[in-house]
Amino acid sequence: NRRIVLASRPQGEPVAHNFRLETVNKPVPGEGEVLLRAVYLSLDPYMRGRMNDAKSYAEPVAIDDVMVGAAVSQVEVSNHPDYKVGEWVLSFGGWQDYFVSNGEGLMTLGDNPTHPSYALGIMGMPGFTAYMGLLDIGAPKAGETVVVAAATGPVGATVGQIAKLKGCRVVGIAGGAEKCRHAKEVLGFDECIDHKAPDFAQQLATHCHDGIDVYFENVGGKVFDAVMPLLNTSARVPVCGLISQYNATSLPDGPDRLSLLMGTLLVKRIKMQGFIIFDDYGDRYPEFAQDMGQWLAQGKIQYREQIVEGLENMASAFIGLLKGENFGKIVIKVNNP
Ligand code: NDP
């Protein structure tokens, strides 16, 4: 059993030596347990937060513990009446080949799912996040302008496409010309602006000529600075993530714009609301799965995955994810089915 543990806590950007690849004995399932063999492991931005020894909505990973995360696995041994050998399941097994479970928190994906890895992306946590954050907090109406950053990632790409299905005008923000082209040509966004362009804020203002009604916040930092003055009266801002700040070790340099933000919220009566997907919306997963399953089957939602082969490449892929080196949902293929 190969596994990746947290070797040390990062200061700022994670580096290779914060992780350690180990080989340990394969675990043995007891009575009422299953042995799961991972095929696909998920990489997600929230994992950066778990590397810090800080109070948050979830416990940090302890030093020398296996890095946390979702896994799509097959049952290799079953001593559990509800699971049979060969069946596919979604678990929270972490960055490793093998995981023993008593069934708690497992979701079965059947004997032969068409796209097993989709359970980590469009049909799983990121897709669900996009759906609930946009529809429940963002409440977009036809004709409104919706802006979303990290526009080609699994959350942002889904937010923009659902907003299009609801009849909105969608402006994406992404890093680089290739991602912006993808957002427009494949995902069907109306516009996509490169946040690395020197005149990014100016371009965003030009392309949001009627202001912004819904800003789905994935990024924070200078992207939010450019968005804030464009928000319309009664705008909604689902606060989903702040990836530009995940490696920060201190607050950004001044001037302090907190009073500007508070003044904007007040004068424009803006609703800004954070959410943690499974804590806040866990009971609404079936509603999402029904809609998203249908949209995918009808070809109404496009989904891009980037498959990286090998557990040994997982840490470097994660470091890259936080820098925008991924293009689409990153999935690590650790074993053949
Ligand atoms: P993504 O693949 O979209 O995340 C990585 C992307 O973020 C990069 O490819 C990059 O895209 C962008 N990015 C990174 N650094 C910066 C920066 N400094 N400025 C601007 N953009 C940057 O991952 P997900 O779709 O999985 O997640 C998107 C967001 O949603 C994250 O913030 C995540 O934490 C959050 N999230 C929140 C959940 C919740 O329950 N609240 C649940 C799931 C996700 P580019 O190259 O285009 O800039």
Complex-level ipTM: 0.98
User: The tokens 């940090």 sit on which residue?
Assistant: 60
> In terms of DSSP H, where are the helices of the chain?
47-50, 125-132, 154-165, 177-185, 200-207, 221-227, 258-267, 277-281, 285-297, 314-321
In a domain, 196, yes or no: yes
Residues 129 and 271 in one domain: yes
Q: Which residues span the domain enclosing 265? A: 125-278
161, 239: one domain: yes
Has residue 164 been placed in a domain?
A: yes
Structural domain contains residue 285: no
In a domain, 230, yes or no: yes
Residue 55: which CATH number?
A: 3.90.180.10
Residue 283 placed within a domain: no
Q: Which atom of ligand 1 is nearest to the CA of 325?
A: 9
Same domain, 104 and 159: no
Are 140 and 264 found together in one domain? Answer: yes
DSSP 251: P
User: Do 23 and 95 have their domain in common?
Assistant: yes
Q: pLDDT tens digits for the chain (337 residues)?
A: 999 999 999 999 999 999 999 999 999 999 999 999 999 999 999 999 999 998 888 899 999 999 999 999 999 999 999 999 999 999 999 999 999 999 999 999 999 999 999 999 999 999 999 999 999 999 999 999 999 999 999 999 999 999 999 999 999 999 999 999 999 999 999 999 999 999 999 999 999 999 999 999 999 999 999 999 999 999 999 999 999 999 999 988 889 999 999 999 999 999 999 999 999 999 999 999 999 999 999 999 999 999 999 999 999 999 999 999 999 999 999 999 9
In this structure, are 117 and 60 located in the same domain? Answer: yes
Q: Which residues line ligand 1 (CB under 6 A)?
A: 44-46, 125-126, 129, 149-150, 152-156, 174-175, 179, 195, 218-219, 221, 223, 240-241, 243-244, 275-277, 321, 324, 326
Same domain, 271 and 311: no
Query: Is residue 95 within 8 Å of 70, Cβ to Cβ?
Result: no
Regarding beta strands 88-91 and 107-110, do their DSSP bridges make them parallel or antiparallel, or are they unpaired?
A: antiparallel
Among 307, 14, 303, smallest CA distance to 153 is for 303
- Judgement on whether residues 182 and 141 belong to the same structural domain of the protein: yes
Residue nearest to atom 43 of ligand 1 (CA): 126
Choosing from 155, 194, 280 the residue with most ligand 1 atoms within 8 A of its CB, the one to mutate for a pocket test is 155
> Does 161 share its domain with 215?
yes
| Residue at 292 is within a domain | no
Query: What is the end-to-end Cα distance of the chain in Å, rounded?
Result: 16
